[in-house]
Structure 1
Amino acid sequence: MKQAYRAIADKAEYVHEEKRSTFTALLHPVRSREEAMATLQAIRLNRPGASHYCWAYVLGDALQPQAAAFNDDGEPSGTAGRPMLNVLMHREAGDCFAVVVRFFGGVKLGAGGLVRAYGAAVSGALDQARWYSVEPLATVRIATAFANEQKVRHFLQVQGADHVQAAYGERVEITARVAEQQCEAMAEALAHLTSGQAKMVVDS
């Protein structure tokens, strides 16, 4: 069974200054690369004229990511995106997209200075962020008689199920997304609720 993981709950921002350069870290909750890239485009439009728009993201659990990527956007290789990603993973920031908007202040920082500045900006933004726990979801299929449909639907609503859909044949089959850790208890409760008529299967 997958474990719950930490993720940021909403946007966060932090400005780090280093030798007249400003490094503004912007954090956004994201669930896909497409969402991250759309967010990057919006940031470029809303904050024009910066020297660099470096970024990194982690999708899913930061300890076992579904995907992770970074980009230095013209900074020397390994001095921006990689340190930003390292901070996200070290701080266990799941489903998180970080962009650091740099305005150059006229003084070169060197490779070590850049690594520290980009890392510090993201770390500072994470300090400002609100966090929550993401519970892994599972898809369940519940087959039952038509007479039990409304009873089962109400039960799923009480359990906080999402994406509830029904297919009709000789019986009704209801699919839903529920917290993975609830599945065993839900199967028992459904059997009791319907006198054993509803059969629940968890899709792998």
Structure 2
Amino acid sequence: MSQDNAFQVPAGNISIEQEIKRSRFITSIGRAPDKQQAIAFIGRIRSTYPDANHHCWAYVAGNPFDTVQIGMSDDGEPQGTAGKPMLSILQHRKIGEIVVVVTRYFGGIKLGTGGLVRAYSSSVQMALQTLPLAEFVALAAAQITLPYPYEDRIRRLLEKMQVTIKDVTYQDCAVLLVEFPVTMGIELERQLGDQTKGEAQYILIGN
């Protein structure tokens, strides 16, 4: 992954609350690698607060530089006062795989369109200040086929390089299904060739 496309993702779920002119604003944030998981998270928040007046939401499912999997909703608030400013904050922060829901319990005092934009924006900003984040690491998968005499040596190599062995099958040779950071692929292939005198077969999966 290039430095220009580096981004962060939520390292956990959080929920915080603030009160503005008697209205309660509860902000819930979770991780959403895809649209389906974002929608599922929104549904869980609705179930948690079934008597709330509004559940406004926004999500950036996947890479924040890819606008294909984004979504937002004002959920009954005046158009453009909730979902859009919430989404804008997420995109400005370049946070990916994230979904945020701001649940509102109306307190009887109208905030006006400007007040609503400020309320929903500040709710998201406050939550992001406490949200634990992690650097996104793109993973690749490969199949490694090697003669049995090299298996122990290659297992030690993979452990040293922190490559995860997902599955092993034994046929005429040992066949290992592995997973590793994309940026490690070239070095892994080189090391396999050196350690097995070119006898290991290395095939990327899904490429």
Structure 2, unpaired ranges of 5+: none
Shift of 1:158: 3.7
* 8 Å CA contact 2:63, 2:96 repeated in 1: yes
**Contact kept in structure 2, 1:143 and 1:200, CA below 8 Å:** yes
Change in CA separation of 1:87 and 1:156 when aligned onto 2, cut-off 3 Å: same
Map of 1:40 onto structure 2:
42
2:119 maps to amino acid: A
Partner letter of residue 136 of structure 2? Answer: V
- SS, match of residue 99 in structure 1: strand
The alpha-carbon distance between structure 1 residues 66 and 176, as it changes in their structure 2 partners (threshold 3 A), is farther
Alignment of 1:93-172 (within 5 A): 93-162=95-164, 164-166=166-168, 170-172=172-174
Q: After the TM superposition, which residues 191-202 of structure 1 pair with which residues of structure 2 at under 5 Å, given as runs?
A: 191-202=193-204
Contact map agreement 2:12 2:132 (CA 8 A) in 1: yes
Q: 193-202 or 6-15, which moves further after superposition?
A: 193-202
One-letter code of the match for 1:102? Answer: R
Q: Distance in 1 between matches of 2:60 and 2:187?
A: 32
CA distance in 1, matches of 2:204, 2:7: 21
For 2:37, give the aligned amino acid.
Answer: E
Paired residue for 1:64? 66
Amino acid at match of 1:123: Q
Alignment correspondent of 1:76: 78
Q: CA deviation at 1:9?
A: 0.7
Unaligned runs of 5+ in 1: none
Q: Considering only aligned residues, what root-mean-square deviation do their CA atoms show, in Å?
A: 2.2
CA contact 2:165–2:176 (8 Å) conserved in 1: no
Give, in whole Å, the separation in 2 of the partners of 1:104 and 1:185. Answer: 57
User: Using the alignment, how far apart are the partners of 2:80 and 2:136 within structure 1?
Assistant: 30
Percent of aligned pairs with the same amino acid: 33
> Which one is further off, 64-73 or 82-91?
64-73
User: CA 1:22 to 1:155, structure 2 compared with 1: closer, same or farther past 3 Å?
Assistant: same
Could you tell me which residue of structure 2 aligns to residue 7 of structure 1? 9
Q: Does the Cα contact within 8 Å between 2:147 and 2:200 map onto a contact in 1?
A: yes
- The residue type paired with residue 99 of structure 2 is F
Question: Which whole-Å CA distance do the structure 2 matches of 1:153 and 1:77 have between them?
Answer: 57
In structure 1, distance between residues paired with 2:82 and 2:178? 41
Contact 2:143–2:203 at 8 Å: present in 1 too? yes
Query: Match for residue 94 of structure 2?
Result: 92
Matched positions, count: 204
2:56 touches 2:102 (CA, 8 Å); kept in 1?
yes
TM superposition shift of 1:45: 2.3
- TM-score normalised per structure 1: 0.87
Q: What secondary structure sits across from 1:160 in the alignment?
A: coil
TM-score (norm: length of structure 2): 0.86
Distance 1:66 1:175 in 2: 31
Superposed displacement of residue 57, structure 1:
1.0
Query: Matched residues in 2 for 1:34 and 1:161: separation?
Result: 29
Contact between 2:145 and 2:176, CA under 8 Å: does it hold in 1?
Answer: yes
